[in-house]
Amino acid sequence: MSTPELLRAAPTSVHIDLGERSYPILIGGELLSDPATWAPQANRKAVALIVTNVTVAALYGAALAAALEPHFARVRTLALPDGEAYKDLAHLNLVFDELLGQEADRRTVLYALGGGVVGDMTGFAAACYMRGVPFVQVPTTLLAQVDSSVGGKTAVNHPLGKNMIGAFYQPRQVVCDLGVLDTLPDREMSAGLAEIIKYGASIDIEFLGWLERQVDELRARRRDALAHAVRRSCEIKARVVGADEKEAGLREILNFGHTFGHAIEAGLGYGQWLHGEGVGCGMVMAAELSARLGLVDAAFARRIEALVARAGLPVRGPASLSPQRYLELMRVDKKAQGGDIRFVLLDGESHASVRTAPEAVVVDVIAALTASA
């Protein structure tokens, strides 16, 4: 389908089935500035608060506010500073300051306009304010459209661990406007591809093959390729979250690459490597660990590494982080149990499970996959 055709085509919708907390994920070309998109949460007596950051506010804040105006008594916008470094309790409090300053009541709807940082913070604010008000995800990065806006994980970081303070709290609606990806920096596009590769590498081998064929088209932002990648990713995530909303088991596999990746992010200081870059390199390390433990063919690990590299992501860890530092950081991972680090490992091609691994092998893998100083 050509771009103009896709713009005219009706948006597609992926349903996330969680009983009374079910919601649609709308995916399409020009959704954000269309008032009809926002009709489902309309309440002429309520306040709508758009929570965004300074970068995204300048690009899309006015268009979203204008599209929400017909549906609410008042629309306000709060622009937080931009960056993972501000995903903390101090900046979360600014959302509460705004809500209380506006005398916002329980009918207030929060709109998370931005990437995963804004989405995670806004969702957590919505979960906490007056013990829970509705919120809508309006993801504007590829990573947020394929992963963070879906499934209800919300959180802020703590200096001792990423996303350590948060809640499971589902949005009422997710709106993925593919048009907003046109302004996304290339580095952020690659970061989003990491989470898409994750689905192919650990869950869906057919999708992995499609990604290998389409990765250049995706990097070039071909709208039809993006539409398929976002839809398929959301379908896979919806299936997993529908079966295990609160990560009692199955959902843990969505963390493929994240144990190593979070250690890199935290070890370097949040904001140095992008989350998706940590996940990209983390998947290479997790695949190599799986191969060294004899769980998957080494050739499959090479296949993952090649795709991660073609997506424009790092495949070697930073020289400044020692294996010992990874181990310290990985012990505070949310999957850790009783001090044992647990990894999402490949136990077949595009098949994963959560396991422990001998520390010596983990150290060897990190050492082998660290860039030389």
Which of 38/256 has CB closer to ligand NAD?
Answer: 256
Residue nearest to ligand GLY (CB): 254
Distance CA 354, CA 234 (A): 22
Using CA atoms, how far residue 92 sits from 140, 150, 181, in Å, is 19, 20, 26
Alpha-carbon span 129 to 44, nearest angstrom: 20
Distance CA 136, CA 149 (A): 9
Binding residues among 82-101 for ligand NAD as defined by CB under 6 A: 82, 84, 87
Contact call for residue 120 and ligand GLY (CB under 6 A): no
Distance between CA atoms of residues 189 and 180, nearest Å: 12
Strand bridging mode 43-53 / 109-114: parallel
Interface with ligand NAD by CB under 6 A: which range of 31-39, 140-148, 214-222, 325-333?
Answer: 140-148
Should residue 153 be labelled a site residue for ligand GLY when binding is judged by CB under 6 A? yes
Reported as half-sphere exposure (CB side, CA atoms, 13 A), residue 281 has a value of: 24
Selection from 361, 164, 180, 195 nearest residue 276 by Cα: 195
Single residue of 11, 29, 114, 278 touching ligand NAD by CB under 6 A: 114
Q: What is the CA radius of gyration of the chain?
A: 20
CA distance 280 to 237: 18
State how far the Cα of 350 lies from the Cα of 236, in Å rounded to an integer.
13
* Residue 147 lies near ligand GLY (rule: CB under 6 A): yes
Q: Is 162 in the site for ligand GLY (CB under 6 A)?
A: no
- Which of 276, 280, 282, 317 touches ligand NAD (CB under 6 A)? 276
Q: Which residue is nearest to ligand NAD (CB)?
A: 116
Select from 34-42, 52-60, 249-257, 303-311 the region that touches ligand GLY (CB under 6 A).
249-257
Residues contacting ligand NAD: total by CB under 6 A: 30
How big is the chain, counted in residues? 373
Q: Which of 7, 26, 42, 59 binds ligand NAD (CB under 6 A)?
A: 59
131 has catalytic annotation: yes
Taking the complex as a whole, the smallest distance from the CB of residue 282 to ligand GLY amounts, in Å, to 12
Report how far residue 278's alpha carbon sits from residue 233's, in angstroms, rounded to the nearest whole number.
19
Which partner from the list ligand GLY, ligand NAD, none does 177 bind, CB cut-off 5 to 8 Å by kind?
A: none
Given a contact cutoff of 8 angstroms between Cβ atoms, the answer to whether 354 and 248 are in contact is no
Binding site for ligand NAD (CB under 6 A): 53, 55-56, 59, 82, 84, 87, 114-118, 120, 140-141, 143-144, 147-148, 151, 153, 163, 180, 183-184, 188, 191, 274-276
Binding site for ligand GLY (CB under 6 A): 147, 151, 153, 251, 254-255
Catalytically annotated residues = 131, 153, 195, 237, 247, 251, 255, 258, 262, 275
